[in-house]
Structure 1
Amino acid sequence: MKAMILAAGAGTRLRPLTNRLPKPMLPIIEKPVIEFILELLSKYDVKEIMINVSHLAGVLQNYVRSGYRFGVRVGYSFEGHFEKGQLVPEPVGSAGGLKKIQEESGFFDETFVVLCGDAIVDFDLAEAFEFHKASRSVATIVSKEVQMDKVSNYGIIVSDSSGRVESFQEKPPAEKAKSNLANTGIYIFEPEVLEYIPKNQFFDIGGELLPLLVQKKERVFSLDTKIDWYDIGRNSDYLEILAKALEGEIKGFKPSGKEVTKGLWRGTGSLLEKTTKIITPVYIGPGSVIEKNVKLEGPVMIGANCRIHEDVELSNVFLGDYIRIKPGFKAKNLLITPEYYVGSDGKGGMIADSNLKRYVSDVRTMEANPADK
C-alpha cells in the first residue's frame, strides 16, 4: 500500500500560528505533527509516500527531505507556479492534488491511503485495509463517533448497517444531524477513483469526490474503528493538544530531556532556582533559565533558551524558543512566541501590538540593548 499526506493548505484558521509554519510542521512540544504521521505509516510498512505542498513548501520539505530517517521514501508535489523567480502557492484541492500526482507520475498504481497532515492519529491501519478489501470498496472512510453536541464541528457520514455510505452532512446542527460519525480525513482508495477527478481544476475529497462516488453508486464504506485522533483545526485545538501531550494522553509521545521527577522534564543545560514552585506536568527546554520565586502550574511548556525572571506565574502556558518573560508577569491559558500570542479561546495577535509587550521580549535582542538585561 502507498500513501498520500495532504499538506498543501494555507492554514488560514490557524493564523498567526501558520504565518511561518505550514500546519503539518506545528510542533507538539518539539515534534512536528508530520513526524507522527510518518511514524504511523512506517509502523505499518507503508514505505512509499507522496506529500503535496504549497504554503511554505520549503519548510516542510527541508525537515522531512527524502524520509530516510523515518524509514520511508518521500516524494513531493508542489502546487503552484514560479513568478519572477518566486514560488507562488496555488493549491488545487485534496482530490485535485491526487489527480495532479497521477497525471505527472502514475504514482497511484495500487491501493493507497490518504491522511490529512494537520492531525495526529493512531489507529490500526492493517485492520482498516482488511475491511476495505473485504467490503470490495473503492473508497473507505475512517470515521469516529463524536458527541452529538460536537457534530457541528465536523463532516458527518450517514451509512447503513453494513457501513455503506448513503450520504453526507457538512457540519450539521445537532438537531438536524442524522449521525454522529465524523469524517477523520483518513481514506483508503482504489486507483479507479481517480477517474472521477477532473483535470486541472480545484477539487475536494470530502466535499466533491466522495459525494460523487456515492451518487454514481460506487461502493463507498465507512469504518468506525478505535482511533486516537487529534485534529488541529483551530488555534484552541492546538493549545489543547499541547496540554494533552504533556499530560501523557497522546499515545507513544514523551517529551525529550530528563524526567527529574514525575511530570517534570528538563532539557540539557537548563537552570532552575530552588524557590521555583512547580505543579506538574512541566517541560523546561534546553538552555532555559528559571529565576527565583517563579510559579509554574502545569501544563506548562518552556521552549529552548528562554529566561523566566523572578516572581512570574504561568498556568497552562506554552512558550516558544528564545523568549524572555520579565519580572512579575502572570498569565493563564496562552501560547506565546517572540512574535505573537494565542489564547485558549483561539484569539491572538502580534506581541508588539498588545499589552504583552511590556512583559515579553526576544532573548536574542538583549545583547543589542544591554540596559534591558
Structure 2
Amino acid sequence: MKALLLAGGLGTRLRPLTENLPKPMALVGNRPWLEHLIVNFKNQGIQDFVLAVKHYSNEIRNHFGDGRSWGVNIEYAVEETLLGTAGAIKNAENLLSDRFLVVNADIIHEVSIMPLLDYHIQHKGIVTIGLTEVEDPSQYGVVEQNGSGKILRFVEKPKRDEAPSRRVNAGIYVMEKQVLEWIPKNTEVSIERETFPLLIEKNIGVYGTTIQGYWMDMGTKDRYRKLHWDLLDRKFSLPLQEKEQDYGIRIGEGTKIGSGVLFVPPVLIGNEVHIGDRSVIGPYAVIGDRCEIGHHVRCSETIMWNDCKVQDAAQLKNCIFGYGLELGSRHILHEAVMNRTAGGMKG
C-alpha cells in the first residue's frame, strides 16, 4: 500500500516562518516534520510514498530525493495550479495503488496505521476517515455517525451544545482507488467540503474510526509552540536524535557549553551548538543545529531553528526564530516570531 502525503499547502498562518518553506518542512524537535512522518510510516511497514507538492517543491525534492537515504521509495506529484485536497489526490492518480493511505502532511501525530487499515478492510466501504476527539468542536467540521461507524453527515463549526459529536476529521484516510472517479481532473476540489459530502449523499460507503495517540494541527504559531512544549514534557513521544544528559536536558553531538551555563529543564539542544559562559537556557527552549549563543544570554520558552546567532546578554522569551537569524547583543525580545529570509518580525 502506498502513502500519499499532501505537502503542497501554503502555511499562511505560520508566516513568516513558512514564507519560503513548505509548512510540512517546518522543524519539529530540530528535524523537518515531513522527515519524522516518513520515518514513522516506514517503521510501520510502508515503503512507497507519493509526495503531492506545489509551493517551494524544490525544498522537499532537494531534501528527500528518491527516498533511498531513508530506505524508502519516493515519487512526486506536482501541482501546476492550486487543486485543493481532493484535486491533489486526483493529480497523483497514476502513481497510486488500488488501496492507498492519504495524510495531510502538516498535521502532527503519532498514529498507528494498522488499526485504521484493519477497520477499513472490515467495513468494506471505499473510504475510512481517521477521526480525533477535540474538547471544543465548534472550530471544526464535526461528524455524525450511525452505530456501525458509517458517516451520515458533516456539521461545519457547530455551536458547542449543538454538535452531534466531538469527533473531527484528523486528516488521515484509507481509500480505494475508485474514489477518484468522483473527483474531476485539473479542478480545485476540497475533499472535506465537496468530495466526502458527495460520497455520503450517494451512499457509497464513507466510514470513520477514532485514531489513538497524539494529534495536533500545527497551523498557528500558538499551536506550533504548544506541540514543542508537549514534546519536551513527553506528552508527545517523537523520537529525538539528541541524547538525554540529565532528566529533561537533551543535547546533540559536538555541542560546546561554556562555564557556568545553567540549563533549566526541559530543553532540547541540537548538534554543534556553541553556548557562551553563564547563559541560562530554559525552561522550554529548543535550539537547532549549529546555533551560536553568546555569553550571559537568557533564553526561555523559545524555539530557534538551525544556524542562528544570538549575541551577548540578549534576553529571549516566548520567541520563534527561523533559519539563520542573527540577533544583536543586549536585545530583549518577548513573543516575537522572526525569519531572516522573510525580512521581518511579528509578535
Shift of the 310–339 alpha-carbon distance from structure 1 to 2, 3 Å rule, reads closer
* Pair 1:217 & 2:203 matched: yes
| Alpha-carbon distance in 1 for matches of 2:339, 2:113 | 41
Aligned to 1:276, which of 247, 250, 261?
261
Name which of structure 1's ranges 125-134 and 287-296 shifts more when overlaid on structure 2.
287-296
Aligned residue type for 1:115: V
Shift of the 252–207 alpha-carbon distance from structure 1 to 2, 3 Å rule, reads same
The aligned length equals 339
Shift of 1:206: 1.0
Aligned to 1:129, which of 105, 108, 117?
117
1:66 aligns with 66
Aligned residue type for 1:61: R
1:42 aligns with 42
| Alpha-carbon distance in 2 for matches of 1:100, 1:20 | 24
| Alpha-carbon distance in 1 for matches of 2:272, 2:123 | 54
Is the 1:36–1:121 contact (alpha carbons within 8 Å) kept by the matching residues of 2? no
| Alpha-carbon distance in 2 for matches of 1:155, 1:40 | 27
| Alpha-carbon distance in 2 for matches of 1:108, 1:266 | 40
| Alpha-carbon distance in 2 for matches of 1:274, 1:303 | 21
Shift of 1:240: 1.5
Shift of 1:307: 2.7
2:272 aligns with 287
Shift of 1:313: 1.6
Aligned to 1:324, which of 292, 309, 324?
309
Is the 2:268–2:285 contact (alpha carbons within 8 Å) kept by the matching residues of 1? yes
Shift of 1:325: 2.1
Is the 1:285–1:305 contact (alpha carbons within 8 Å) kept by the matching residues of 2? yes
Note the aligned Cα RMSD (angstroms): 2.4
| Alpha-carbon distance in 1 for matches of 2:59, 2:164 | 41
- Counterpart secondary structure, 1:123: coil
Is the 2:309–2:325 contact (alpha carbons within 8 Å) kept by the matching residues of 1? no
| Alpha-carbon distance in 1 for matches of 2:105, 2:334 | 22
Shift of the 353–211 alpha-carbon distance from structure 1 to 2, 3 Å rule, reads closer
2:87 aligns with 96
1:371 aligns with none
1:139 aligns with 127
| Alpha-carbon distance in 1 for matches of 2:73, 2:271 | 31
Name which of structure 1's ranges 322-331 and 13-22 shifts more when overlaid on structure 2.
322-331
Is the 2:288–2:306 contact (alpha carbons within 8 Å) kept by the matching residues of 1? yes
Aligned to 1:236, which of 215, 222, 231?
222
Shift of the 202–340 alpha-carbon distance from structure 1 to 2, 3 Å rule, reads farther
Is the 2:264–2:283 contact (alpha carbons within 8 Å) kept by the matching residues of 1? yes
Name which of structure 1's ranges 119-128 and 216-225 shifts more when overlaid on structure 2.
119-128
- Counterpart secondary structure, 2:301: strand
Shift of the 193–340 alpha-carbon distance from structure 1 to 2, 3 Å rule, reads farther
1:175-197, Cα deviation, whole Å (9 max, x unpaired): 33221001101011111111110
Aligned residue type for 1:274: S
Shift of 1:334: 1.2
Aligned residue type for 1:7: A
1:298-329, Cα deviation, whole Å (9 max, x unpaired): 21122233332233222111122332323332
Is the 2:320–2:337 contact (alpha carbons within 8 Å) kept by the matching residues of 1? no
2:298 aligns with 313
What percentage of aligned pairs have identical amino acids?
Answer: 28
1:1-373, aligned counterparts within 5 Å? 1-80=1-80, 90-102=81-93, 105=94, 107-147=95-135, 150-256=136-242, 258-337=243-322, 338-339=324-325, 348=337
| Alpha-carbon distance in 2 for matches of 1:354, 1:238 | 17
Aligned residue type for 1:260: Q
Is the 1:7–1:117 contact (alpha carbons within 8 Å) kept by the matching residues of 2? yes
- Counterpart secondary structure, 2:138: helix
- Counterpart secondary structure, 1:213: helix
Q: Return 5+ residue gaps in structure 2 as ranges.
A: 328-332
1:68-120, Cα deviation, whole Å (9 max, x unpaired): 2333211101111xxxxxxxxx2211111121222xx2x33411110011123
| Alpha-carbon distance in 2 for matches of 1:289, 1:314 | 14
- Counterpart secondary structure, 2:77: strand
| Alpha-carbon distance in 1 for matches of 2:192, 2:52 | 17
* Larger RCO of the pair (alpha carbons < 8 Å, separation 6+): 2
Shift of 1:154: 2.4
Shift of 1:262: 2.4
| Alpha-carbon distance in 1 for matches of 2:97, 2:275 | 55
The structure with the larger Rg is: 1
Give the TM-score of the pair, scaled to structure 1: 0.84
| Alpha-carbon distance in 2 for matches of 1:322, 1:3 | 32
Shift of 1:354: 5.5
